A and B are shown apart, each in its own frame.
Chain A
Amino acid sequence: MKSNVKKVIAAVMALVMMLGLTACSGANYTENNTEFVIGVSGPLTGGAAVYGVAVQNSAQMAVDEINANGGLNGVMFKFIATDDTNDATKVTANYASMLEGGMQVSLGCVTTAPGLEFKQLSVEDNVFFLTPSASGDKIPEFDNGYQMCFADGNQGKVAAEYVNSLGLSEIGIFYKSDDAYSNGIFEQFKENLDPSIATVETVFTGDASDFSSQISTLKNCTFIFMPIYYQPASIFMTQAKGIIADNAVYYGCDGFDGLAGQFEDFSVIPQEISMLSHFDSNATEGMAAEYIAKYTEKFGTDTLNQFGASAYDCVYAIYYAMEEAIAEGEAIDVTISASDLCEILKAQFQGGFSYSGVTGENITWDENGYVAKIAVKYTLKEAN
């Protein structure tokens, strides 16, 4: 009986200790900050790691550049990237640890599924986030959330408008039915597509790597819309050689970006590949080219994609917005709380702040937090 009491006490103590109770709820974590802290949660491991790593690399690169140029009025920036492996249940712990690490502003989540969790957590504490790539339509639902990428629905709509203008009678659609990104684009695309255009639809799920069945379904199409990421796209294109007509067009959205890193030589694919995006990793001029040169030098071409470019822009956009706010007379101290900074940034992003960077010029945000910038149709490769 006595030893049991001891056991109970020991177990409770152990649990309390494991929680590492800081016993200082409601504390202002930022009061000891010596740098401005930006945080992001993204898939740094697992199947989607390439996107998280690209964001981590690029954001760190942007922060390093800003710091090398003297930071914001002499105050440096610090960037934290935490790993959520694209699993929404890991976001809470990441978010808490970043907050405790003094995070004042965030890039949200890299991918949509965890991003849905993040937006709810951040709205409670009023933490501003500008996500580079969580493109779900509901991500900027609350007034503290903004997107640098196009929302999926918007992409689908714009893509449909483009396709409508081509005067085709039949198109093929190939999408990933268990993926929020792919589905989101597909639904809006379908809704806005001219009803007179016939569609041949085919799907894949999971990590499928054999598309022979889908390819044979689409073999008579000369225009195939593929709102999917580049890895399955590259597999599809390789396997479709000789089956889908050589003069066909593969048309994708920003997920196509990264194809350039996959095919050393695009000419192995006979068909035309084009995409609707805000970034082209083949760009040869402008800020995009500069970014590509810098990124490639540091990290190689492996993880070069629009996720990174977008993250790079996010950091700069936040930086410039803070700079502008200071110019307008706002007091931004290094120990400013996340909530105070959020109010200031919201005012900026809603007050006509505009940003020009790698993924577009004169970028502004509407009252919903959706980005307004020009989506460009990039032709990665003409038909042979």
Chain B
Amino acid sequence: MEKLKNVKWNHYLNYIVVAAVTLVFAILSLTGVIESSDKYLLEKVAIAITLAVSLSMVVGFLGELSLGHAGFMCIGAYLGGKTAVILEPVIGEWPALIVSLLVGGIVAAVFGMIIGLPALRLRGDYLAIVTLAFGEIVRSVFMNSSKESFGGSLGLDTPRFDKDILFVIAFVMVLATLAVTQNLIRSKHGRAITAIRDNEIAARATGIDVTKYKLLVFTVSSFFAGIAGVLYSYSNFTVQSTKFSYNYSIEILVMVVLGGMGSINGAIIAATLITFLDVELQTILTGNLAVLQDLIYALILIVLVIYNNAPALKNFREKYNLKAFINKFRPHVPSKHKDDEAKWDRVPTKIKMDEVLSVDFQTTSPYTPDKPGKEEK
């Protein structure tokens, strides 16, 4: 019991929430309350969370801009889907699922490592365009594949799986992603990674193996993007490469940025909300109103980003935000943190945007590629 008290529940809160959600829906699904379209939506949410959390490793914690996350997902979707289709008649449903998840994830991870290599040399926008280029290359290769291999322009027919269980599996994968990502970030290795983000030169001088950690982050991140891809192929009847354009990478990036870079919980919430918003807009605005979808989405996006980030709105933000709103209805509980044990990982998992912004005027920033600096004479 004493031990239980020492557990930092806040660290496990998001696992508990995700697990509880999964459990509730699994029960609802077994009792036949929710419909197949709801299950599909849940799969979609789980895939989005997996993608957003894995991308937030690269963008939020390593501080590199990647616009090619959909490319890794594409690899997972095609290779995992194909593996499953081939293996299913041979080894059965469950083994095929597990093998294909591994194949999709691992192959994507290998490519992630390859793409991590230029990341050692390139920074900022240069790396962004290289990742974007990578995504487009992958897409182009699958698009022009032969009919027999990956279906070419018609797309790949995907494996089927019991829809009652599939979304549960998808959420289990979300839990796995969360576990790996958070455990990695909240360890000495995570500290090294965030150190690279904060100041690469100092990190090197402190003996951090920058090469190793950059490759590690790209590899792990693309592994889970690959997993998301395999789930995607199970979730849909066909995999079509047009889906995985840079636009989709940007959609994932939007989730990460809206969630607040470096905040895993933020990424989870943003991924969920954006997926729902998409579907709601799409199903409510039909017929002649359909053209309003993008308009509304765009306006929400612009307003939210400005609200979240504009330096001028800092005071406004601190006064009117969700937390303040919730706290109104809650008695004030003083913080119980005594020592660094309690909050030792408070900071890196939650960089506030306005802390990042000041970087723009300082010597280094993870996102501006070539800050001016005179050559040392």
Do chains A and B stick together as partners? yes
> Is A177 interfacial (CB 8 A cutoff)?
yes
> Is B367 interfacial (CB 8 A cutoff)?
no
A180 and B154 in contact, given A81-B287, A87-B243, A94-B283 (Cβ under 8 angstroms): yes
> Is A348 interfacial (CB 8 A cutoff)?
no
A177–B20 CB distance below 8 A? no
B21–A19 CB distance below 8 A? no
In A228-265, the 8 Å CB interface with B consists of none
> Is B201 interfacial (CB 8 A cutoff)?
no
Collect the chain A residues with CB atoms within 8 Å of residue B358's CB.
Answer: none
A19–B34 CB distance below 8 A? yes
Name the contact of A15 in the complex, choosing from B152, B272, B287 (C-beta under 8 A).
B272
In A72-102, the 8 Å CB interface with B consists of 80-84, 86-90, 92-97
> Is A3 interfacial (CB 8 A cutoff)?
yes
Collect the chain B residues with CB atoms within 8 Å of residue A180's CB.
Answer: 153-155
> Is A219 interfacial (CB 8 A cutoff)?
no
A44 and B13 in contact, given A8-B20, A90-B282, A96-B37 (Cβ under 8 angstroms): no
A88–B32 CB distance below 8 A? no
Chain A 163-181, CB-CB to B under 8 Å as 1, else 0, gives 0000000000000011110
In B36-74, the 8 Å CB interface with A consists of 36-38, 40-42, 44
- Assembly CA distance A136 to B13 (angstroms): 48
Give the shortest distance, in Å, between A64 (CB) and chain B (any CB): 13
> Is A303 interfacial (CB 8 A cutoff)?
no
Stretch at the interface among B110-118, B181-189, B233-241, B337-345: B233-241
> Is B286 interfacial (CB 8 A cutoff)?
yes
A8 and B290 in contact, given A88-B243, A177-B153 (Cβ under 8 angstroms): no
A117–B154 CB distance below 8 A? no
> Is A373 interfacial (CB 8 A cutoff)?
no
Name the contact of A83 in the complex, choosing from B13, B41, B290 (C-beta under 8 A).
B290
> Is A68 interfacial (CB 8 A cutoff)?
no
A56 and B287 in contact, given A11-B17, A93-B37, A138-B154 (Cβ under 8 angstroms): yes
- Assembly CA distance A87 to B232 (angstroms): 14
Residue of B nearest to A4 (CB): B9
- Assembly CA distance A73 to B153 (angstroms): 44
In A1-53, the 8 Å CB interface with B consists of 1, 3-4, 7-8, 11-12, 15-16, 18-19, 21-23, 25-26, 44-45
Give the shortest distance, in Å, between A348 (CB) and chain B (any CB): 27
- Assembly CA distance A179 to B144 (angstroms): 10
Collect the chain A residues with CB atoms within 8 Å of residue B13's CB.
Answer: 4, 7-8
> Is A183 interfacial (CB 8 A cutoff)?
yes
- Assembly CA distance A113 to B272 (angstroms): 26
Collect the chain A residues with CB atoms within 8 Å of residue B16's CB.
Answer: 4, 8
In B237-254, the 8 Å CB interface with A consists of 237-238, 240, 242-243
A83–B154 CB distance below 8 A? no
Collect the chain A residues with CB atoms within 8 Å of residue B34's CB.
Answer: 19, 21, 25
> Is A120 interfacial (CB 8 A cutoff)?
yes
Collect the chain B residues with CB atoms within 8 Å of residue A8's CB.
Answer: 13, 16-17, 20
Collect the chain B residues with CB atoms within 8 Å of residue A97's CB.
Answer: 37, 283, 286
Collect the chain A residues with CB atoms within 8 Å of residue B356's CB.
Answer: none
Collect the chain A residues with CB atoms within 8 Å of residue B9's CB.
Answer: 1, 4
B38–A94 CB distance below 8 A? no
> Is B10 interfacial (CB 8 A cutoff)?
yes
Main SS at interface, chain B: helix
- Assembly CA distance A138 to B155 (angstroms): 12
Collect the chain B residues with CB atoms within 8 Å of residue A95's CB.
Answer: 37
A26–B32 CB distance below 8 A? yes
A82 and B236 in contact, given A8-B20, A19-B41, A92-B37 (Cβ under 8 angstroms): no
- Assembly CA distance A80 to B286 (angstroms): 7
A120–B32 CB distance below 8 A? no
A4–B282 CB distance below 8 A? no
A93 and B283 in contact, given A116-B155, A136-B154 (Cβ under 8 angstroms): yes
> Is B293 interfacial (CB 8 A cutoff)?
yes
In B294-320, the 8 Å CB interface with A consists of 294
B37–A113 CB distance below 8 A? no
A89–B243 CB distance below 8 A? yes
A83–B21 CB distance below 8 A? no
Main SS at interface, chain A: helix
> Is B120 interfacial (CB 8 A cutoff)?
no
Give the shortest distance, in Å, between A152 (CB) and chain B (any CB): 10
Name the contact of A21 in the complex, choosing from B33, B279, B288 (C-beta under 8 A).
B33
A183–B37 CB distance below 8 A? no
In B189-219, the 8 Å CB interface with A consists of none
A96 and B153 in contact, given A4-B16, A45-B294 (Cβ under 8 angstroms): no
In A103-152, the 8 Å CB interface with B consists of 112-113, 116-117, 120-121, 124, 136, 138
> Is B1 interfacial (CB 8 A cutoff)?
no
> Is B291 interfacial (CB 8 A cutoff)?
yes
Give the shortest distance, in Å, between B39 (CB) and chain A (any CB): 10
Give the shortest distance, in Å, between B42 (CB) and chain A (any CB): 8
B287–A25 CB distance below 8 A? no
A113–B240 CB distance below 8 A? yes
Collect the chain B residues with CB atoms within 8 Å of residue A21's CB.
Answer: 28, 33-34, 38
- Assembly CA distance A18 to B38 (angstroms): 10
B154–A25 CB distance below 8 A? no
B285–A83 CB distance below 8 A? yes
Collect the chain B residues with CB atoms within 8 Å of residue A83's CB.
Answer: 282, 285-286, 290, 293
Give the shortest distance, in Å, between B341 (CB) and chain A (any CB): 17
Give the shortest distance, in Å, between B216 (CB) and chain A (any CB): 31
A82–B282 CB distance below 8 A? yes
Chain B 14-27, CB-CB to A under 8 Å as 1, else 0, gives 00110011001000
Give the shortest distance, in Å, between B252 (CB) and chain A (any CB): 14
Collect the chain A residues with CB atoms within 8 Å of residue B243's CB.
Answer: 87-89
In A315-344, the 8 Å CB interface with B consists of none
> Is B347 interfacial (CB 8 A cutoff)?
no
B286–A81 CB distance below 8 A? yes
B40–A92 CB distance below 8 A? yes
Name the contact of B291 in the complex, choosing from A25, A45, A87, A178 (C-beta under 8 A).
A45
Give the shortest distance, in Å, between A135 (CB) and chain B (any CB): 12
Collect the chain A residues with CB atoms within 8 Å of residue B288's CB.
Answer: 56
4 smallest beta-carbon distances between A and B, as pairs? A96-B37, A83-B290, A44-B290, A97-B283
* New A-B contacts (18) at CB < 8 Å, excluding given A44-B290, A83-B282, A113-B155: A3-B330, A3-B333, A4-B10, A8-B13, A8-B20, A12-B17, A12-B21, A15-B21, A25-B33, A80-B287, A89-B44, A112-B154, A113-B240, A113-B242, A116-B155, A116-B237, A124-B36, A178-B144
Task: Pick 6 A–B contacts, CB within 8 A, sort by A.
Answer: A19-B38, A21-B38, A23-B33, A26-B32, A82-B282, A183-B154
Taking beta carbons and an 8 Å cutoff, which residues of B are in contact with A?
A: 9-10, 13, 16-17, 20-21, 24, 28, 32-38, 40-42, 44, 140, 143-144, 152-155, 236-238, 240, 242-243, 272, 276, 279, 282-283, 285-288, 290-291, 293-294, 330, 333
